[in-house]
Amino acid sequence: MADLTFKYGTMKSGKTLDLIRVARSYREQGKIVMILTSDKDTRSGIDKVVSRVGVTAEAISISDDLNILGLIGRKHNPDIILIDEAQFLSTEQVRMLSEYVASKTGRNIPVICYGLKNDFKNELFEGAAALLAYADNLVEIESTCQKCNRKATMTLRFNNGLPIRFGDQVHIGDSEYVPVCKEHYASII
Protein backbone atom coordinates (compact mmCIF):
# COMPACT_ATOMS: atom_id res chain seq x y z
CA MET A 1 0.00 0.00 0.00
CA ALA A 2 1.24 3.46 -0.89
CA ASP A 3 1.62 6.32 1.57
CA LEU A 4 1.21 10.07 1.66
CA THR A 5 4.57 11.50 2.65
CA PHE A 6 5.43 15.07 3.63
CA LYS A 7 9.08 16.02 3.16
CA TYR A 8 9.58 19.44 4.71
CA GLY A 9 12.45 21.79 5.35
CA THR A 10 13.44 25.43 5.52
CA MET A 11 14.10 27.57 2.50
CA LYS A 12 17.23 26.42 0.66
CA SER A 13 17.22 22.92 2.21
CA GLY A 14 17.18 21.03 -1.11
CA LYS A 15 13.53 20.00 -1.24
CA THR A 16 13.12 20.53 -4.99
CA LEU A 17 16.46 18.86 -5.71
CA ASP A 18 15.28 15.79 -3.78
CA LEU A 19 11.99 15.79 -5.72
CA ILE A 20 13.86 15.85 -9.03
CA ARG A 21 16.17 13.06 -7.82
CA VAL A 22 13.18 10.86 -6.92
CA ALA A 23 11.52 11.63 -10.27
CA ARG A 24 14.66 10.67 -12.15
CA SER A 25 14.99 7.41 -10.23
CA TYR A 26 11.41 6.41 -11.08
CA ARG A 27 11.82 7.40 -14.74
CA GLU A 28 15.01 5.35 -15.03
CA GLN A 29 12.87 2.36 -14.01
CA GLY A 30 10.47 3.14 -16.87
CA LYS A 31 7.77 4.44 -14.53
CA ILE A 32 5.39 7.33 -15.12
CA VAL A 33 6.02 10.32 -12.86
CA MET A 34 3.51 13.10 -12.28
CA ILE A 35 4.98 16.32 -10.90
CA LEU A 36 2.70 19.06 -9.62
CA THR A 37 3.67 22.48 -8.31
CA SER A 38 1.84 25.54 -7.07
CA ASP A 39 0.87 28.22 -9.55
CA LYS A 40 1.87 30.73 -6.84
CA ASP A 41 5.58 30.06 -7.37
CA THR A 42 6.41 31.91 -10.58
CA ARG A 43 10.11 32.57 -9.88
CA SER A 44 11.27 30.36 -12.75
CA GLY A 45 8.16 30.45 -14.92
CA ILE A 46 5.23 28.06 -14.93
CA ASP A 47 4.84 24.31 -15.44
CA LYS A 48 8.29 23.41 -14.14
CA VAL A 49 10.21 22.95 -10.94
CA VAL A 50 13.71 24.36 -10.66
CA SER A 51 16.24 23.65 -7.93
CA ARG A 52 18.68 26.29 -6.79
CA VAL A 53 21.52 24.28 -8.36
CA GLY A 54 19.82 24.68 -11.75
CA VAL A 55 18.30 21.22 -12.26
CA THR A 56 14.78 21.40 -13.73
CA ALA A 57 11.84 19.12 -14.42
CA GLU A 58 8.54 19.63 -16.21
CA ALA A 59 5.52 19.95 -13.95
CA ILE A 60 1.87 20.86 -13.95
CA SER A 61 1.10 24.13 -12.18
CA ILE A 62 -2.00 23.89 -10.02
CA SER A 63 -4.10 26.34 -8.04
CA ASP A 64 -5.09 25.75 -4.43
CA ASP A 65 -8.72 25.18 -5.46
CA LEU A 66 -8.03 22.60 -8.20
CA ASN A 67 -9.48 19.12 -7.77
CA ILE A 68 -6.19 17.20 -7.92
CA LEU A 69 -7.93 13.82 -8.09
CA GLY A 70 -9.86 14.95 -11.16
CA LEU A 71 -6.57 15.94 -12.79
CA ILE A 72 -4.98 12.59 -11.96
CA GLY A 73 -7.96 10.63 -13.23
CA ARG A 74 -8.48 12.63 -16.43
CA LYS A 75 -5.01 12.98 -17.83
CA HIS A 76 -2.57 10.66 -16.17
CA ASN A 77 -1.94 7.16 -14.96
CA PRO A 78 1.13 7.80 -12.78
CA ASP A 79 3.25 5.37 -10.82
CA ILE A 80 4.16 8.18 -8.38
CA ILE A 81 2.89 11.69 -7.70
CA LEU A 82 5.39 14.33 -6.56
CA ILE A 83 4.18 17.74 -5.38
CA ASP A 84 6.50 20.72 -4.95
CA GLU A 85 5.55 23.82 -2.92
CA ALA A 86 3.04 21.69 -1.00
CA GLN A 87 2.64 24.36 1.67
CA PHE A 88 0.29 26.06 -0.81
CA LEU A 89 -2.10 23.09 -1.01
CA SER A 90 -5.51 23.58 0.57
CA THR A 91 -6.64 21.43 3.47
CA GLU A 92 -9.24 19.88 1.16
CA GLN A 93 -6.58 18.93 -1.41
CA VAL A 94 -4.47 17.23 1.28
CA ARG A 95 -7.51 15.38 2.60
CA MET A 96 -8.30 14.18 -0.94
CA LEU A 97 -4.71 12.98 -1.42
CA SER A 98 -4.88 11.11 1.89
CA GLU A 99 -8.10 9.39 0.85
CA TYR A 100 -6.63 8.68 -2.58
CA VAL A 101 -3.64 6.72 -1.27
CA ALA A 102 -6.02 4.74 0.95
CA SER A 103 -8.40 3.97 -1.94
CA LYS A 104 -8.35 0.99 -4.26
CA THR A 105 -7.38 3.28 -7.16
CA GLY A 106 -4.45 4.94 -5.43
CA ARG A 107 -3.22 2.31 -3.04
CA ASN A 108 -0.16 1.46 -5.12
CA ILE A 109 0.70 5.05 -6.04
CA PRO A 110 2.86 6.90 -3.52
CA VAL A 111 2.32 10.64 -3.12
CA ILE A 112 5.29 12.66 -1.88
CA CYS A 113 4.70 16.31 -1.00
CA TYR A 114 7.63 18.71 -0.61
CA GLY A 115 7.30 22.06 1.09
CA LEU A 116 7.88 24.47 3.90
CA LYS A 117 6.40 23.66 7.28
CA ASN A 118 6.39 27.16 8.72
CA ASP A 119 6.64 30.67 7.31
CA PHE A 120 8.99 33.52 8.24
CA LYS A 121 6.74 34.38 11.21
CA ASN A 122 7.09 30.75 12.35
CA GLU A 123 3.41 30.05 11.63
CA LEU A 124 2.25 26.94 9.80
CA PHE A 125 1.12 27.20 6.20
CA GLU A 126 -2.35 25.76 5.56
CA GLY A 127 -1.03 22.94 3.38
CA ALA A 128 1.74 22.12 5.85
CA ALA A 129 -0.69 21.98 8.78
CA ALA A 130 -2.94 19.63 6.82
CA LEU A 131 -0.01 17.45 5.80
CA LEU A 132 1.20 17.22 9.39
CA ALA A 133 -2.27 15.92 10.26
CA TYR A 134 -2.89 13.59 7.29
CA ALA A 135 0.53 12.36 6.11
CA ASP A 136 1.52 8.77 6.81
CA ASN A 137 5.21 9.74 6.87
CA LEU A 138 6.94 12.95 7.92
CA VAL A 139 10.51 13.45 6.72
CA GLU A 140 12.58 16.49 7.58
CA ILE A 141 15.07 17.61 4.95
CA GLU A 142 17.68 19.23 7.14
CA SER A 143 19.65 22.35 6.41
CA THR A 144 22.23 24.38 8.28
CA CYS A 145 21.80 27.79 9.89
CA GLN A 146 23.46 30.44 7.76
CA LYS A 147 24.78 32.11 10.93
CA CYS A 148 26.29 29.04 12.64
CA ASN A 149 26.65 25.29 12.06
CA ARG A 150 23.51 24.18 13.90
CA LYS A 151 20.42 22.74 12.30
CA ALA A 152 18.16 25.36 10.71
CA THR A 153 14.50 25.00 11.67
CA MET A 154 13.22 28.47 10.79
CA THR A 155 13.35 30.92 7.93
CA LEU A 156 14.01 34.64 8.25
CA ARG A 157 12.67 37.11 5.69
CA PHE A 158 14.66 40.23 4.92
CA ASN A 159 13.49 43.52 3.46
CA ASN A 160 16.17 46.00 2.36
CA GLY A 161 18.74 44.00 4.31
CA LEU A 162 16.79 44.06 7.58
CA PRO A 163 15.00 41.04 9.09
CA ILE A 164 11.22 41.36 9.41
CA ARG A 165 8.42 39.45 11.13
CA PHE A 166 5.44 41.17 9.55
CA GLY A 167 3.74 41.18 6.17
CA ASP A 168 1.86 38.77 3.99
CA GLN A 169 2.55 35.09 4.54
CA VAL A 170 3.22 34.55 0.85
CA HIS A 171 5.95 36.63 -0.74
CA ILE A 172 7.56 34.81 -3.63
CA GLY A 173 11.26 35.35 -3.60
CA ASP A 174 14.57 33.72 -2.93
CA SER A 175 17.32 36.06 -1.80
CA GLU A 176 15.01 37.57 0.83
CA TYR A 177 14.97 34.34 2.85
CA VAL A 178 17.64 32.80 5.07
CA PRO A 179 17.47 29.47 6.97
CA VAL A 180 18.45 29.86 10.63
CA CYS A 181 18.44 27.99 13.94
CA LYS A 182 16.07 28.95 16.78
CA GLU A 183 18.74 30.97 18.58
CA HIS A 184 19.53 33.13 15.57
CA TYR A 185 15.88 33.51 14.68
CA ALA A 186 15.19 34.91 18.15
CA SER A 187 18.35 37.03 18.43
CA ILE A 188 18.30 38.66 15.00
CA ILE A 189 14.81 40.07 15.25
Nearest Cα to 165, choosing from 175, 173, 174, 154? 154
Half-sphere exposure of 171 (CA within 13 A, CB side): 18
CA angle in degrees (0–180, nearest 5) for 115-116-120? 155
Q: How many CB atoms lie within 10 A of CB 33?
A: 21
Residues sharing a CB contact under 8 Å with residue 9, sequence separation 6 or more, in sequence order: 15, 116, 117, 140, 141, 142, 143
Let me know if 123 is a catalytic residue.
Answer: no
- Catalytic residue, from 85, 99, 123, 142: name it: 85
**Burial readout 85-105 (b: 16 or more C-beta within 10 A, e: otherwise):** bbbbbbeebbebbbebbeeee
- Residues labelled catalytic: 85
